[in-house]
Amino acid sequence: MIKLIATDLDGTLINDHGKINEKIFDLIEYLTEKKIIFAAASGRFYSQLSENFEKVNSDMLFIAHNGALIKYHKSGKVLYSNCILKEDIKTVVNFKRELGEELFLASDTTAYIANPSEHMLAIFNHVSVPAAVVKSFEEVKCPIYRMTYYVKDGVKPAILEYLKSNLNDNLEFVVSGSNWIDITNKGVSKGNAIKMLQEKFNISEKNTMVFGDYYNDLTMFKAAHYSYAMENAPEDVKKHANFIAESNNNNGVYNIINNYAASL
């Protein structure tokens, strides 16, 4: 029996128009009644996830910032938190001068940006994330879970090689979108977040189902027997999953879970 279900959002549960099929909300309530834990696992902010699932009344789980923060939806109880050291933030901020790309620091609710372009501000406005413009990143005093580069012309191998060579040993990065690179503390991943939940609630890989479409979802695939890559995922992402779900535009996540729920 499945006891834990986790899904990515962008490109997975969310369609290309930025919408979630609202039928999933009632399904989450049903899963909760059946004692099945449902988690949204994303690089998104906790505040975004809370807004995405505001119509869900049950206390589902949010795995935010690619696993740096695990927090309940309704109660706000934190199960896990992994903040980046100030010294490491300074190092990555210095990379910005070398790379020439836009960088923001992510707290649980806010994106902190220094000298942002209008395009960058428009992105945050579109996804409903509060953006705080600062003169210097040294002004930011709150806990930071993730540092993200926005690469306007698309992530290139040269940028990845630069980060591999220069990033502090206690940090790591993942390509979370065609224009996005997320940097977190080493060991932070969606997969490790899934493993923490499995350990806490005594759930095995065989009783875990996950859905994803991109490279930051690969660690989740390793933590679950029922690992589903979306039909719209890159081919080299699909090969790491045990199963393929219909695309995000064809309600792939909902269809798989609903079929399983019908058998309960």
pLDDT tens for each residue of 221-238: 999 999 999 999 999 999
Instruction: Mean pLDDT check: name the lowest of 4-8, 64-68, 94-98.
Output: 94-98
Residue 99 pLDDT > 80, yes or no?
no
- 86-99 vs 157-166: helix crossing angle, rounded to 10: 140
In the chain, the percentage of residues whose pLDDT exceeds 70 is 100
Q: How far apart are CA 77 and CA 19, in angstroms?
A: 27
CATH number where 144 lies: 3.30.1240.10
The structure tokens 């609710």 sit at: 109
Q: Give the model's pLDDT for residue 12.
A: 98
Task: Domain of residue 131: give its range.
Answer: 86-185
Q: Tokens for 134?
A: 């600062």
Domain end point (choices 135, 163, 185): 185
pTM across the whole model: 0.91
Identify whether residues 155 and 238 lie together within a single domain: no
Could you tell me the two tokens for 60? 């589902």
**Which of these, 93, 102, 107, lies nearest to 123 by C-alpha position?**
102
Q: What angle do CA 233, 147, 89 make, to 5 degrees?
A: 155
Overall number of domains in the chain: 2
Q: Backbone phi, then psi, for 85, in 5-degree steps?
A: -65, 145
Considering the domain architecture, whether residues 92 and 176 belong to the same structural domain is answered as yes
- Whether residue 125 sits in one domain with residue 73: no
| Same domain assignment for residues 149 and 217 | no
Same domain, 72 and 193: yes
Strand pairing report for 102-106 and 111-114: antiparallel
Model confidence at 85: pLDDT above 80: yes
Query: What are the pLDDT digits (tens) for 246-257?
Result: 999 999 999 999
* Residue pair 145/107 in contact by the 8 Å Cβ criterion: yes
Q: What mean pLDDT comes out for the span 23-47? A: 96
One domain, residues 75 and 201: yes
**Are 221 and 192 found together in one domain?**
yes
